[in-house]
Chain A
Amino acid sequence: GQNIDQPTEMTATEGAIVQINCTYQTSGFNGLFWYQQHAGEAPTFLSYNVLDGLEEKGRFSSFLSRSKGYSYLLLKELQMKDSASYLCAPRASKIIFGSGTRLSIRP
């Protein structure tokens, strides 16, 4: 079967750091995507991990452990505009999206 587990909601403070965790079980694995989705808008691509380890891209970093079926998205220096849903999406034969983590940033 296929299962993706990430927290439904998180809250963090502007300027702080937040880590959004994702665990997954898929039939086969060909990498993991993270997407950002603002309310009422389409998802936008953030990162793609295919090998174990940390990928850093500006304020956002994504980590993957294939043996543990685990990934996280790290957001640094949080800004109000980072308030959005973050979708963990492992790829087996196709990409499967989790329900997303709704992140709220407070001043």
Chain B
Amino acid sequence: DTGVSQDPRHKITKRGQNVTFRCDPISEHNRLYWYRQTLGQGPEFLTYFQNEAQLEKSRLLSDRFSAERPKGSFSTLEIQRTEQGDSAMYLCASSTDRGYTRDTQYFGPGTRLTVL
């Protein structure tokens, strides 16, 4: 399977704990996106990487959230001091800026976070 993968698929944590999620994009894709989705809503943009550079970060993203893509391949999203309001599905997507499918984002299965 050469699609986008995410790990873990589910995470239950207590309020105040830190959590880290991983995303492995499609191998030839140079762009990587993180989204958050809550029930009944569409995906909400969090941040975007082109290769290893973080080019955009949502103003809605608090300082407790940080993302990295150190080698331009996989990415991690860390949430520090989790709050119950952080409970959501965290989606990763990747795309390429070349070829016929350029700019089409392909999503991973998501990580469902529950903060107790």
Contact = CB atoms under 8 A, between A and B. Distances in A.
A48 interface: yes
A94 B47 CA distance: 10
Contacts of A30: 103
A43 B92 CA distance: 10
Interface string A24-66: 0000001101000000011111001000000000000000000
B43 interface: yes
B92 to A, nearest CB: 9
A94 B48 contact: yes
A95 B108 CA distance: 16
Main secondary structure on chain B at its contact with chain A? Answer: loop
Contact of B107 (A31, A43, A93, A94): A43
Given A42-B91, A42-B109, A94-B56, A48 B104 contact: yes
Interface residues of A, number: 20
29 contacts: A30-B103, A33-B104, A33-B105, A41-B109, A41-B110, A42-B91, A42-B107, A42-B109, A43-B91, A43-B107, A44-B107, A45-B104, A48-B104, A87-B42, A87-B43, A89-B42, A91-B103, A93-B56, A94-B45, A94-B48, A94-B56, A95-B45, A96-B45, A97-B35, A97-B42, A98-B42, A99-B40, A99-B41, A100-B41
Q: Which 10 A-B pairs have the closest CB atoms?
A: A97-B42, A42-B107, A97-B43, A99-B42, A43-B107, A42-B110, A87-B42, A100-B42, A98-B42, A42-B109
Interface in A77-107: 87, 89, 91, 93-100
Contacts of A96: 45
A48 B103 CA distance: 10
Given A31-B103, A44-B107, A96-B45, 12 more contacts: A33-B104, A33-B105, A41-B109, A41-B110, A42-B91, A42-B107, A43-B107, A45-B104, A48-B103, A87-B42, A99-B41, A99-B42
